Structure 1
């Protein structure tokens, strides 16, 4: 597919691109930050662990890369309390139009340095990459996605570079949260048509490069992990959220409004942790100057 990466980039980020014109995820599909405050609550627990491991720096960063409408950044800012809140600087990074959010800085470029936690929530899947059909000669494919004749794939090298660059700016931790796949499944032919897809107004639609839809593809998170290197772990969202204190168990010993509120929260957490749904997202966590073991306990390796 000739210059598919360029066409994809123009369709999303060009002058008349999907995101350039102001589209946000909330308009087209349901993502974890839109479900409720629970994801932000879990990330604040992770941020507190990063803060402790860093020794409580005078300034603590939370950077939301690919922020979309800024819902996650705004929730983290509003939920932070105590001395951590006083030291917290929240930055949303996105190529779309800037949003006015209390306590949140907005920029189109990654900060030069991040002292705290950087999160790319469904960011990597929106980074354009070449779309190819086998046979196709490419070092990345040779290493990460052996491609049989007639099979389709996405060359994830641009995502690897973007993630390595982001992690390289961090002291603390960097977290990528996305839907993705692993080399063993790719090599076994689990994705014969690749994973390139398009969405508009909550529905999957045929991909076109005219700026009318969101274009996306699953992320080779194992390749991104190796590209960024260092101390890292790749686990499921389901397990990570449990390790950060989010349980979907039914409320007990409550009545009335308190029971209703607790039941609603349990339902939202259950959606975030649902197997085969959001719970199957991969969490790729890198510790930079901070041992990953200080941030998450040992967890089963991620399987998409």
Structure 2
């Protein structure tokens, strides 16, 4: 059994405080809360949740590494797609969940090199800690960058979200073979535990019936939050584009018989943790994205579904091969490091296949550089 790194005393104190807060909320709710409520508290409770407190999350010293942190070529490719779209709008970029600000900084630099300067770069983020880090990373670009704490009433521009959908609270459903139950959280003997109850939410019940794998003991996720997010973006998008990049599957892959325990996992110091109750507030919780649900929601909301493909193909379509010629092959160590990072972005065994790109448009061209080849919309 892998021994996980021990948290610092001050970090453990934060986790203990958050655990008590969640326990108090469970008691106030009558002894049971949906798992989505637990996940929301663990990730976003003000001053205590994983994304709302001061723990280091990204990079080698954190809990996971994202594509923008791995290689500037990720942003360079995405910039080529944005350069095609921004002139068709009022030129504003909206980024949700900007992490350290690395993607924003690299995009702004690459777009400037391409001769396409955004009129503004607006970051929507709820984490005071991450916003502070973003300000540091974006010090050279502050004249262009604004921070928002909520969605603007109307969007005319390009919306991007890298690894945003996976961090939204999900519902857990247990299919028993004779029906579906909603998995929630209780306190037993001073510790958090799962407890199943009948589903009372009409929409969740409908989806549970649709996805029923007819396998007793099957547990998986249904994200009402992902659907709500896409629906809200669509309602506010007057003109422009939405580009979402995340790990996940189509519906038919998501609910395969062999995936009978779902996709919910925790990330802690580059370790995968299967106990969602481990050190609340110090561990990231995430579930894979059902891209069929995302696509259907966008289409139902009146958006044009532009394309859906894996990250590797998107990067190739956006000119990764040409961009790699920038590397200095004579500078051996940096060259090897850069190539290794790109391999992680592209490899089917790493991020190339598991990560997908899905895009929607309204009032802009439906022919996009990033989806010129390898589109998989037919698999959704």
TM-score normalised according to structure 1 size = 0.88
Work out the CA distance in 1 between the residues paired with 2:123 and 2:227.
21
Report how far residue 152 of structure 1 moved: 0.5
Q: Provide closer, same or farther for how the CA distance between residues 181 and 134 of structure 1 changes in structure 2, counting only shifts above 3 A.
A: same
Give the Cα separation in 1 of the matches to 2:103 and 2:329: 31
Deviation string, structure 1 residues 159-211 (Cα, Å, up to 9, x no partner): 11112212433322111111112222234313100111111111112321721
Equivalent of 1:157 in 216, 221, 224: 224
1:119 aligns with 2:160: yes
Any idea what the Cα deviations from partners look like across 1:202-247, whole Å, max 9, x if unmatched? 1112321721210100010111111011322110001111000012
1:234 aligns with 2:303: no
Q: Select 1:175's aligned residue among 229, 236, 243.
A: 243
Which of 7, 13, 19 is the matching residue for 2:51?
19
Measured against aligned partners, the alpha-carbon deviations of 1:271-302 in whole angstroms (never above 9, x if no partner) come to: 21111321111101112212332343142417
1:148 aligns with 2:215: yes
For the pair 1:269 / 2:310, whether they are aligned, the reply is no
Residues 59-208 of structure 1: pairs in structure 2 closer than 5 A: 59-81=90-112, 83-85=115-117, 87-97=118-128, 98-99=131-132, 100=135, 101-102=138-139, 103=142, 104-135=145-176, 136=180, 138-144=205-211, 146=213, 148-170=215-237, 171-205=239-273, 206-208=275-277
How far residue 144 of structure 1 moved from its aligned partner, in angstroms, is 4.3
Alignment partner of 1:8 out of 26, 39, 62: 39
Question: Unmatched 5+ residue regions in structure 1?
Answer: none
Which range is displaced more, 71-80 or 141-150?
141-150
Please tell me whether the aligned partners of residues 22 and 96 of structure 1 are also in contact (alpha carbons under 8 angstroms): no
How far off its partner does 1:74 sit? 2.0
CA distance in 1 between partners of 2:53 and 2:74 (Å): 27
Which deviates the most, 163-172 or 8-17? Answer: 163-172
Q: CA RMSD in A?
A: 2.7
Deviates more, 1:217-226 or 1:179-188: 179-188
In the alignment, the residues of structure 1 paired with residue 127 and residue 327 of structure 2 have an alpha-carbon distance, to the nearest angstrom, of 46
Is the partner of 1:199 in helix, strand or coil?
Answer: strand
> What is the match of residue 299 of structure 1?
374
From the superposition, tell whether residues 260 and 203 of structure 1 become closer, same or farther in structure 2 (CA, over 3 Å): closer
Count of residues paired in the alignment: 298
User: Given the superposition, is the C-alpha separation of residues 168 and 22 from structure 1 closer, same or farther in structure 2, using an over 3 Å criterion?
Assistant: farther
CA contact (8 A) 2:173 2:208 kept: no
Checking the alignment, whether the CA contact within 8 Å between 1:145 and 1:186 is kept in structure 2 is: no
Per-residue CA deviations over 1:6-50 (Å, capped at 9, x if unaligned) read 111001101311111034333210110101211111111011111
Distance 1:115 1:147, change over 3 A: farther
- Residue 256 of structure 1 and its aligned partner are, at CA, apart by 2.6
Tell me if structure 1 keeps the 8 A contact 2:251–2:291: no
**Which has the larger Rg?**
2
- Residue of structure 1 equivalent to 2:317: 243
Contact 1:134 1:149 in 2 (8 A): yes
